[in-house]
Structure 1
Amino acid sequence: MDLASLFALFVMAVLFLVIVAAIVALGSLPGQIAKTRNHPHTDAINVASWIGLAFGGILWPVALVWAFVPFSGSLSTCEGEVESLRKQVAELKTELSSLKSASA
């Protein structure tokens, strides 16, 4: 092998490594963003990102947008709010029935 062939092989190897590094960086980007933003679906976003890249990048943009979607809270927070509203409704019903009995 002459020097030109060795240089060509070196350039091809470097290009291959750069392409692999770019694919790994892109594949892990939505998962890293979701983890940084403390998103509760970080693992699902990461999986969607890698599956998206494996299938030609179809699902990758969805995973990226999903990583940026704000999450308002957990289900337990919603259940607490529902319970609070139920108590308020019960109190209002009691007050309404006492008002009805007072006016009668």
Structure 2
Amino acid sequence: MFLNYFALGLLCFAGIIVFYGIIVIHDIPYEIAVERNHPHQDAIHAAGWVSLLTLHVLWPFIWIWAMLYREDRGWGFHKNESNSIAALQTRLAYLESKLAAEDKEKLNDVIH
């Protein structure tokens, strides 16, 4: 009789662990999005709940969506220095100084 109750308790315990395990697994993309400061955190969280209702069919796509964005480099797959604001400001300052030097040289040629 004791083994029957032990088996029933073990079955209930395993069912609860599986139930909460599935809920924890569905929330992994949202946790990734929060960690990466993803701009679509709320949408990823909602999609995770929808995926839970659809037996996690959408979960791999939500995980990919959460992994695509990183705060330091945005949606790109590599850091592109030529598009950063600081690099563009440096390049603009260089070109302006070069243009000013050419204008000064042309003005000197006209005067002499």
TM-score tier after normalising by the smaller chain length:
0.5 to 0.7
Aligned counterparts of 2:32 and 2:48: Cα–Cα separation in 1: 11
Gaps of 5+ in 2: 76-84, 86-112
CA contact 2:23–2:52 (8 Å) conserved in 1: no
> What SS does structure 1 have at the residue aligned with 2:57?
coil
1:56 pairs with 2:55: yes
Aligned counterparts of 2:69 and 2:30: Cα–Cα separation in 1: 14
Give the root-mean-square deviation of aligned CA atoms.
1.9
Measured after TM superposition, the shift of residue 49 of structure 1 is 1.4
Compute the TM-score of the two structures, normalised by the length of structure 2.
0.60
Aligned counterparts of 1:36 and 1:70: Cα–Cα separation in 2: 11
Aligned counterparts of 1:59 and 1:5: Cα–Cα separation in 2: 39
Structure 1, residues 4-59: CA drift from partner, whole Å, max 9, x if none? Answer: 11011111111011101211111111111100110010010111112112112111
CA contact 2:27–2:48 (8 Å) conserved in 1: yes
Structure 1 partner of 2:98 = none
Identity of aligned residues (%): 32
Aligned counterparts of 2:66 and 2:55: Cα–Cα separation in 1: 19
Gaps of 5+ in 1: 74-80, 82-104
Aligned counterparts of 1:17 and 1:51: Cα–Cα separation in 2: 21
* Greater fraction of residues in helix: 1
The count of residues paired between Structure 1 and Structure 2 equals 74
Structure 1, residues 42-100: CA drift from partner, whole Å, max 9, x if none? Answer: 01011111211211211111111101012528xxxxxxx9xxxxxxxxxxxxxxxxxxx
Aligned counterparts of 2:43 and 2:51: Cα–Cα separation in 1: 12
Aligned counterparts of 1:11 and 1:32: Cα–Cα separation in 2: 30
Structure 2 partner of 1:13 = 12
Aligned counterparts of 2:65 and 2:22: Cα–Cα separation in 1: 19
Compute the TM-score of the two structures, normalised by the length of structure 1.
0.64
Structure 1 partner of 2:38 = 39
